[in-house]
Structure 1
């Protein structure tokens, strides 16, 4: 299933976050019922050689494979989707020009400039992948700076851009606020809702990174199409800390 197909069913996507470079940890996450999983190559500890076995581990479960690339670089964007990613999140997109350059890497000619060579993607997504690829891959431009906020209408009006992804921590820093997940009643919260409104106005999907299931549900109620909750590293730390605290407290 692709993200677009999931959205056509009328449901928001629940996305998990992977920063631990391990196939087994990925497999554990993939079997917990997430709609999609994103390998974080920006702030996680994962490089390309770690990405491929993580995508392979996802293939055993019914989960949509996604990647956050380290930065906008055509090479890693194209290699990630050649490896089988069906969603690509690109950080720090601050202008229409940057967004256009990013999405051009997601589509084959004549719609874009993606180079042909879907070495793993064709294996896992079918022999007719090349014909369907342009509509299978979903591109997210991360909106996380004051510059991007000011250029939001120019960015989301790009025809080939599928969605925006809000990074609340960098957005907070850019607005002079302390970085934290799940902001309430603040300039950051107002900016998040403004980005959502402009994306919807232009017919784009919107995603946001959250720190709790309760806040994620609130964001879905507000109109977000994809919500990320926690991460593999956070879940390991939280579970371990709870066990230690329960023992010490007992």
Structure 2
């Protein structure tokens, strides 16, 4: 692949930040996208990436992003990473506003950026190559678990969106890739989900031997994008060895049974 420019949403922290850094290190031209201008300035200074302020829940922001990408050279990869979880309560007791926000960011946000940037990706495809649409979903979109109803619902829907998109784009040189992480220890995910309760957020990862890092997922994303253009990773599920399922997590030392 000779032309390599990627647009990465949710780039102000965690997996998004790490993905921008990994791709830049590999020689990609990257546009890092997020809501927080101050964090994007830090990302630009740290990596040299191009950055754009954009809230994926605001259509006018997404339209402006697509126009900028088209006018500044196009792109051949979109990494739709913006998302997140809010709350950890039962279906009965959870806040419907949290559900609406999760659906807007994870599902409609992905739909907005895909719809806006697909035409840009098409015009950037070089002969013999393929464009890539990659979204970061979650194992929460594969297996339901107690008190995860809102996030489960959003991630199941996002996963379905990608499956439909893959069918609809069949016949075009456009890859649709689903990267589904398990437990990833980042600075903000659990903190945001648990309303800023640092003690509760820290407890999520306490005594878990080697939870995944943002760099682990960024490496997976970069690998998926850099495979030969005829190779499509439909879905890659990435969990730490200590996690057998969303609801089965080992705490304490991993031991070999003899």
**TM-score normalized by the length of structure 2:** 0.37
What's the TM-score once normalised by structure 1's chain length? 0.38
